[in-house]
Structure 1
Amino acid sequence: MTTTAKHSTRRQLQTANATTEQARARNNVLRERFPPRSAEARWPATAQSADEVLRRLTAPPFLPAANATRAGRRRGVAKLLRWLSSFPGDTWQQRWEAGRAEEIRGADWTDLPLRFLRQSGPSPSYERGDLTSGLLMLVCGDVIRPDLAWMLTRTHKHLALVMAEVRDLDGFARLAQLAESGPDSARGEATIAATRIAMLLACKGGAIADITVGDCVELVDTLRRVHVRGGQRKVDFYLRLRALGVFPEDAPATIRAFGLAAGRLSIEELVDRYPIRCRPVRDLIVDYLRERQPSLDYTSLDAVSRTLAGLFWTRVEALSPGIDSLRLPPALARAWKTDIATKKRTTIGPDGTPVEVASPRLNAKDELIRVRAFYLDIAHWAAEDPARWAPWVVPCPISDEEISKAKERKHRKARMDQRTRERLPVLPVLADAVDRRRRASAELLAAAEHTRPGELIPDTAGALRRAVAPKAAGHLTWAEETSTGRRRNLTYEETEAFWAFAAIEVLRLTGIRNEELLELTHHSITEYRLPGTGEVVPLLQIAPSKTDSERLVLVSPELADVLSTIIRRLRGSGRAVPLVTSYDVHERVWNPPMPLLFQRDIGTEHRAFTPTALRKLLINALSATSLTDAGGEPIVFSPHDFRRIFVTDAIMNGLPPHIAQVICGHKSLDTTMGYKAIYPAETIEAHRAFIARRRATRPSDEYRTPTEEEWDAFLAHFEKRKVSIGTCARAFSSPCVHEHACIRCSLLRPDPTQRGRLEEIRDNLVARIAEAEHEGWLGEVEGLRVSLAGAEDKLAQIDALSERQSAAVHLGMPGFSRSGRTDGTLRPMS
């Protein structure tokens, strides 16, 4: 089994300003709505005298049970107050800042007060520990409020415990109750979250109820600057505070909305990303984008703004400073087109110096099309509103010939057809490989979970042992390779293998787009009752995506198996599919919580899969199969490849193209036929052959009442479908293409009761192949192997049918409860 690294290294940000500016550029709208609390210059506790501070911090609730701890804290407070008194200031906070202890990272800050105390008198050996305890009391007593970044450089083993005792007993008690209601494996995350929350109280003051959303955002920004790694533990505290009801109702469901995904910019902000000197042209581009905004999603609007403001006018001004008209001289137009035909990037050469590298811009014609549309739209709008647009009407510097993409479309169609032809034959191999990988990883994880740490894992031939990982998260199971000592996260491997299997199966069985896959919810599974027979047909409702029109896809038995497996996994021990928020990468907005089918657990958070995560699943699944193309290179599947394969396979197996168009949700039949890997000549010849066959077999009187002989022949066809090992699904009045060699025929539906007979046939074929190879009858070997493959395929079909029937789960219809979560109760359809 191929494994991959779970984490990638993050570049550490150097300055706080870089972090803040970078984050604000991502989602400044939310940050303005939820600002952090500003730092106070003065508060009552920090303005007390030394005697008042010492008296308050040595009285309840600041008195621990242990006498030694109590004495150490009293000594530490007294020594720190004596050291801080040597600095100027009206408050202890001013004296703390003047002491410059925060310029020293970690625990070495105690060197400053130690040097002062040693100059004042003898220095006991336990003085450094006293100072640490004294600082804990000053912080929890709200005498000083250290800088957040400095606090993150130190360990705080007792901070949450002491803060709960002296600052907010009820708040931390509710936090502890929330942790106890969660899984035991999340206790480590709960401890870290409590420390993060206590740190906010130490640096911002107040109680847990006073913490704001902006405070949490400031802490996460500082965490990303100070700590390179940390994963989900960096943001888990926000989820717990939100669960306690500390934040307002309109607070984002996840703190990732503030920094990990870009928010929307206004049209003015989109244009002002580029240094346009001519203000009238800048305003024109803003007006043009605002006019087109209702018909574009945010991503398209962003792309048009990048083209017009960045690649077009900013570069025109660089080539011709001071230009203030859209009328470009021919020489300037040619220079601009030459300039955007290539893109430049700066890399570091072998000697460490920056090197500028130029490469062709693959989408140069797309950029020209947007600029030409800019000119033509203004000319068209000038007829309706001349006062606004007519002053800018000028000849377009881009001709139709320059944006013609007929040749590119033909080349692209040829590349896509070749790509589909290469991947269609290996799709069954891929599906079988990911299924075996899923089962193997699940069995390995189950075996490891029942193995004590340090012992060898059964059925691994001594290659793996259960790793001893006391600091690992409780819900993770680690193994260690005995030969190399490399550690493997078996929980992550099993999760990745399962979701790779689920994604590939749903994509290949439905032909939906990748964004439609990620938007499938528990409510997408619906049903339709046939009016004639009353039979219930399961359907999958596809949410509107590219064409803004929803559609229904028939759920096959194989697809039903996959969907039921996904739902059982998501439900776990409960009856509801968790609600998760997802980010719409096209509209740059966060969707409301929904019971998405493609979600995963990261720490204590249920998180929706992203397009990047989906691509990573496919890459890792393919690396485990070792599939290669004709040139020996590894085959790469994109999510859209499965859509093209689905259309090609469906039409080649007789599905009418207009039905395939409806299933795939295409607006045009030409789009559907463009997905099929065929040539135009093949389409024409197939259509002519179809017309010839129709004329020969369906005369003009085809709608007459059949005779008794014709009707008997039709009924006899179904009686003759029964063969020795199953049922023949050959169409009426069609010949047997395999000359009654049923074992090879894909139309044979094997009977599970004939498994013994099929095993005898398989064993006989194996013996005949061995005899033929021994006697040198090589002419018979190839044909016998084809028959053997057919027999094994029929046995596999019987096994899959038996497994599906034995593992069938009645999911019912998802309904709505008052809590907004879904359950599996069956509700009548209106």
Structure 2
Amino acid sequence: MTGQSAARGGGKAILESRRRANQTRKAAGPSTKLLSLGTVAPDPRVDANGRIVKTRAYDLGSPPPLLPGDAAGHLVQGLDRDATVGFVLGHLGDSFRIKPVRPAIRRVLEWLEQFPGDSWEERWLSSGADSAPRAWRSAVVGSDEALQRKIGYAANALMAGRVLRPSYGWQLESRAGAHLPAKMLTVNDPEAAARLRALPTYRDALLRHQFDAEGCLSRVMIRTGRRLDQLEGEQLLHYADVVKTSGRHRREHLAWELMVALGPFAGEPATLRAAWSAKGNTRQHSAATLVDRYGIPPSGVRDVLVDYLSEIKAGMDYGSLQGLAYRLARLFWWEVLQINPDQKDLRLAPVTAATWWLWRSPPAPFVGQC
């Protein structure tokens, strides 16, 4: 009996020990399981074949603009994790499938809590995630593709829920999915979205042009934190300019015309082309902006490029000046800095020059054996 009593006593002690261990784990919370305590490294700019990766915009890692005074984002930035989850789910209503997205939202917020900042937006920037639109999900949940997809859904919910305002570069490269733009408009400004979709200009457009227009407007809404009816022409022009720096064909024309017809851009030119090309247009960028918008850091080379473009600006039309700035600042100097971030002048080492030439050269055609 004594042995049995001792065994029972030992079993109780083990159970009590396990109970305390479980309590400790619960108190520590799921964040103890997160994979990365360091900031996320930026996505690589060169692929496995040594070719430069096309960049869709050059604002990765930059802070968002100030929120308007009545923006919904003000309500959520100071909330704790649980309150933020509740706010987001309440804001989204039935636009997202709540059951699968709830734990993923919580997982992202737990991960962000590791990083410094007084708001979710500040923690997002300090985490490095905004500079890693493809790699950041693996920092949260590892290499499991199914879990990464859920984290992607959570990011969509956090953007539509006014918690995060990633850069345009992040939004374009993160593969958010085809359904986010429509949900973003419907959740955050349903009345204006319905009026926009009822416009003859919208209904007469091709389906892919409608999709491009909603995608454009949703990204500007996410980045600025504004409703559709609060957007201004300058904000859409800024978005169009940011994505144009990658050499991407413009897809913002219908969005501009819809906003003119809807009312928010009523005082603007009727088309995006007219907004840019009007004679004496004060929206045309200075030579410094044409260089700096590619993320070119201060240096003697940057100053040379600005001085050269400023000198020849008077004898060129604006479109040609933009094209030349793109070739000099983006295709040449920006790529040199990707090869050698410490490059300070135009005296390129042979290996740097050869690598740049390789990046710019088309791949050799395959020649089969005879």
Among 147, 165, 178, the residue aligned to 1:145? 165
TM-score (norm 1): 0.25
For residue 199 of structure 1, report the CA deviation from its aligned partner: 0.9
Does 1:235 pair with 2:253?
yes
Q: Give the Cα separation in 2 of the matches to 1:14 and 1:180.
A: 27
Among 48, 62, 86, the residue aligned to 1:55? 86
TM-score (norm 2): 0.54
**Higher helix fraction (1 or 2):** 2
SS of 1:77's partner is helix
Among 255, 261, 281, the residue aligned to 2:272? 255
For residue 16 of structure 1, report the CA deviation from its aligned partner: 5.1
Q: Give the Cα separation in 2 of the matches to 1:110 and 1:171.
A: 33
Aligned length: 225
CA contact 2:56–2:173 (8 Å) conserved in 1: no
Does 1:98 pair with 2:126?
yes
Letter in 2 for 1:241: M
Q: Give the Cα separation in 1 of the matches to 2:114 and 2:107.
A: 11
Unaligned runs of 5+ in 2: 1-53, 287-313, 316-352, 355-370
Letter in 2 for 1:165: T
- Deviation by residue 1:578-625 (Cα, 9 ceiling, x = unmatched): xxxxxxxxxxxxxxxxxxxxxxxxxxxxxxxxxxxxxxxxxxxxxxxx
Give the number of the structure whose alpha-carbon radius of gyration is greater. 1
SS of 1:152's partner is helix
For residue 15 of structure 1, report the CA deviation from its aligned partner: 8.4
For residue 43 of structure 1, report the CA deviation from its aligned partner: 2.2
Match of 1:620 in 2: none
CA contact 1:179–1:190 (8 Å) conserved in 2: no
CA contact 2:57–2:169 (8 Å) conserved in 1: no
Q: Give the Cα separation in 2 of the matches to 1:152 and 1:195.
A: 10
Letter in 2 for 1:58: L
Q: Give the Cα separation in 2 of the matches to 1:85 and 1:264.
A: 45
Match of 2:292 in 1: none
Change (3 A) 1:179 1:143: farther
Match of 1:177 in 2: 198
Change (3 A) 1:230 1:165: same
**Higher strand fraction (1 or 2):** 1
- Deviation by residue 1:225-284 (Cα, 9 ceiling, x = unmatched): 23x2324x23221111111111242x122222454566368xxx9xxxxxxxxxxxxxxx
Q: Give the Cα separation in 1 of the matches to 2:281 and 2:244.
A: 22
Q: Give the Cα separation in 2 of the matches to 1:15 and 1:173.
A: 30
Match of 2:138 in 1: 111
SS of 2:206's partner is helix
Q: Give the Cα separation in 1 of the matches to 2:202 and 2:163.
A: 35
Match of 1:807 in 2: none
Q: CA RMSD in A?
A: 3.2
Match of 1:213 in 2: 233
Identity of aligned residues (%): 21
Change (3 A) 1:15 1:82: closer
SS of 2:259's partner is helix
Q: Give the Cα separation in 2 of the matches to 1:75 and 1:194.
A: 28
Among 36, 39, 46, the residue aligned to 2:66? 39
For residue 124 of structure 1, report the CA deviation from its aligned partner: 6.7
For residue 129 of structure 1, report the CA deviation from its aligned partner: 1.4
SS of 2:199's partner is helix
Does 1:72 pair with 2:119?
no
Q: Give the Cα separation in 2 of the matches to 1:262 and 1:135.
A: 42
Does 1:203 pair with 2:223?
yes
- Deviation by residue 1:663-684 (Cα, 9 ceiling, x = unmatched): xxxxxxxxxxxxxxxxxxxxxx
Q: Give the Cα separation in 1 of the matches to 2:95 and 2:110.
A: 23
Among 224, 243, 246, the residue aligned to 2:264? 246
For residue 51 of structure 1, report the CA deviation from its aligned partner: 1.1
Change (3 A) 1:72 1:124: farther
Letter in 1 for 2:240: V
Q: Give the Cα separation in 2 of the matches to 1:113 and 1:186.
A: 39
- Deviation by residue 1:684-720 (Cα, 9 ceiling, x = unmatched): xxxxxxxxxxxxxxxxxxxxxxxxxxxxxxxxxxxxx
For residue 141 of structure 1, report the CA deviation from its aligned partner: 0.8
Does 1:168 pair with 2:189?
yes
For residue 70 of structure 1, report the CA deviation from its aligned partner: 2.3
Q: Give the Cα separation in 2 of the matches to 1:75 and 1:160.
A: 22
Aligned pairs for 1:340-419 (under 5 A) are: none
* Structure with greater contact order relative to length (CA < 8 Å, sep ≥ 6): 2
Unaligned runs of 5+ in 1: 1-11, 18-36, 116-122, 270-301, 304-351, 354-830
Q: Give the Cα separation in 2 of the matches to 1:131 and 1:158.
A: 15
Q: Give the Cα separation in 2 of the matches to 1:63 and 1:150.
A: 26
Match of 1:187 in 2: 207
CA contact 2:188–2:227 (8 Å) conserved in 1: yes
Letter in 2 for 1:140: A
- Deviation by residue 1:476-533 (Cα, 9 ceiling, x = unmatched): xxxxxxxxxxxxxxxxxxxxxxxxxxxxxxxxxxxxxxxxxxxxxxxxxxxxxxxxxx
Aligned pairs for 1:633-648 (under 5 A) are: none
Q: Give the Cα separation in 2 of the matches to 1:144 and 1:50.
A: 13
Letter in 2 for 1:197: L
SS of 1:58's partner is helix
For residue 149 of structure 1, report the CA deviation from its aligned partner: 2.4
Aligned pairs for 1:148-547 (under 5 A) are: 148-155=168-175, 156-178=177-199, 182-183=203-204, 186-226=206-246, 228-231=247-250, 233-249=251-267, 251-260=268-277, 263=280
Q: Give the Cα separation in 1 of the matches to 2:173 and 2:278.
A: 27
